[in-house]
Structure 1
Amino acid sequence: MENILEDTIELILANARHVKNVPGRKTDVKDAEWLAQLLRCGLIESTFVPPEDIRDLRDLTRYRKKLIHNRTSERNRIHKILQDANIKLTSVLSNIFGVSGRRILEATINGEKIETKQLHELVDKRTKASIADIASAINGRMRRHHRDMLSYHWDHMCYLEKKIEELEEQIDNLLSPYRKQVELLDGIPGVNKAAAATFIAEMGVDMSVFKSSKHLASWAGVCPGNHESAGKKNK
């Protein structure tokens, strides 16, 4: 609703906890009357609503996170199938989804019988493991069922990777007006550009909308838990 009305009238997003009516039987009409009365008395404090471009950025970064999670799930399924087929590729390659691992996996999915001679062409020169060790690791019991399952997961993983790349481009375009803020955040130890984009998407760049650092931490969802029972605080 705010997407439709925000350009024509001043919108105030109220915190439901702050304007909670007296418990009991009520209707939407009475609830609206109660809110109108609170507004006339100046008792409704507006909650922070990010600008439209920040909200768009937030949608993209949150969806990117979901797709990355799905991609990780598909990679874990590929790991499981390889173990079931007694393919110990993970014991010789630190990342089976790197250059060498992808080439070997694609050849395996295509049903190719990988010989030592072919491994010289598939394995990247920077790979630390020897050709003999890799040949021994992929000498398992790969059935047609394994290849079919690998193909399903591989195709879905590649699709997710393509969509993640498209999202990255859109996110980068939306971050164009905030290059300075991204650079400042990227300078913080442990924060990369992806994390900087998430910070901006979730909190915006105007910190004046938050009363204090505590309010900012609460908005970001990083406040420590405060669990107290019988006068004792449990961490």
Structure 2
Amino acid sequence: MRVCCAGLDVHQAMVVACIIKGPLECKPKVEIREFSTVLSGLLALQDWLSQEGCTDVAMESTGVYWKPIHNILESTCDITLGNARHIKNLPGRKTDVNDARWIAELHRSGLIQKSFVAPLAIRELRDLTRYRKKLKGYETSERNRILKILEDANIKISTYMSDVFGVSGRLMLNALIDSEVIEASHLAELAKRQLRAKIPELTQALNGRVTKHHRSIMKRSFDHLTFLEQQIAEIELDMEQYFAPYQNEIELLDTIPGVGVHVAQSILAEIGVDMSVFPSEAHISSWAGLSPGNNESAGKKKVPERPWAIKL
């Protein structure tokens, strides 16, 4: 039980705060206020909590709306971030004020399980690794789009080249975009190394039906692909500086079969370096979403529906 604590009902534009304080053997004093989620409003919330002597704060993880509040209050308060599913209020009593008071009462009784929130330095690493992953997805999409355009134009160079986006492949793509007629003599300048032995096959593969429409779309995709590759290179350069203090941990993760440097960086950014926040290996497995759930009633176990499975 807590003598003084607060519950926050978080929304995009405002947050309702409820402070409950007083001796445990008596009826507590309840005070509720509403604050804006702009910086000035959150600073006012922080000042109010400090004036009331409240350092124990609980709130639910509502989308990303809890993050700016957590960033402001984490320096002065012990914040408990609870799973919204676990602290849902009773039906028929849902108002912003009631939700804030409900969260405060649960927190006062110690009934809200604290979720793992990584330190600020780890959260910054997580932003970088997740953004890089997103950019790599865009990069793959653009490469696949270019390959589809080549197939639509009867260009079959992917049959004879393992990497269409290597040095030789990019030279050929640029030649196609520039409306150049690619002949065997021209391929001698474009094909590098082992591809020189495939000049006859490549000459036939490049003899397709490339229209103005194909060139226009391919140029846009190729320009976007070049931009994405530049952005990925820049973010990876920034990541080297951010991950410099964690080289020992990355080297240890890199010893796992199938785990490279980028995967090691992603693992570190997701779970951090302090393993004391996870009581056991079962907890970290569950937190990562790798533990199967249970759904049993009257001795019967129900298999969870798999939305990705194909239904016939």
Question: What is the TM-score of this pair, normalised by structure 1?
Answer: 0.92
The equivalent of 1:158 in structure 2 is 226
1:184 and 2:249 aligned: no
Mapped pair 1:48 → 2:108? no
Report if the CA contact (8 A) 1:12-1:46 is conserved: yes
**Residues 1:190 and 1:18: Cα distance change in structure 2 (over 3 Å):** same
1:212 maps to what in 2? 280
TM-aligned CA distance change 1:30 to 1:93, over 3 Å:
same
Deviation at 1:15, TM superposition (A): 2.2
Name the structure 1 match of 2:174: 106
1:91 and 2:152 correspond: no
Query: Which has the bigger relative contact order, CA under 8 A and spacing at least 6?
Result: 1
Q: Is the 8 A contact 2:188 2:196 kept in 1?
A: no
Could you say what secondary structure the match of 2:179 adopts? coil
2:83 to 15, 38, 56: 15
The alpha-carbon deviation at position 55 of structure 1 amounts to 0.9
Give me the CA root mean square deviation.
1.9
Q: Larger % of strand: which?
A: 2
Deviation at 1:43, TM superposition (A): 2.5
Percent identity among equivalent residues? 53
**SS of equivalent to 2:246:** helix
Q: Which amino acid aligns with 1:63?
A: Y
CA displacement at 1:23 relative to structure 2: 2.4
In structure 2, runs of 5+ residues without a counterpart are 1-68, 305-312
Provide the TM-score with structure 2 as the length reference: 0.71
Change (3 A) 1:227 1:65: farther
Q: Which of 300, 306, 309 is matched with 1:231 structurally? A: 300
The 2-side partners of 1:160 and 1:153 are apart by 10
- Equivalent pair of 1:85/1:141 in contact (CA under 8 Å): yes
| Number of residue pairs the alignment of both structures matches | 235
Task: Please name the residue that 1:24 is paired with.
Answer: 92
Residue 77 of structure 1, CA deviation: 1.1
Shift of 1:225: 5.3
Task: Work out the CA distance in 2 between the residues paired with 1:228 and 1:35.
Answer: 29
Deviation of 1:145 (Å)? 1.3
Worse-matched range after superposition: 117-126 or 188-197:
117-126
Quote how far apart the aligned CAs of 1:62 are: 1.3
Aligned to 2:38: none
1:33 to 1:162, Cα distance in 2 relative to 1, 3 A? same
**Bigger share in helix:** 1
Give the one of 132, 135, 155 matched to 1:64: 132
Does residue 264 of structure 2 align to residue 196 of structure 1? Answer: yes
For 1:8, the aligned partner's letter is T
Secondary structure of residue in 1 paired with 2:82: coil
Residues 46 and 93 of structure 1: CA distance in aligned 2, closer, same or farther (over 3 Å) = same
Q: CA deviation at 1:128?
A: 7.2
Bigger Cα Rg:
2
SS at match of 1:142: coil
Question: Which deviates further from its counterpart, 222-231 or 80-89?
Answer: 222-231
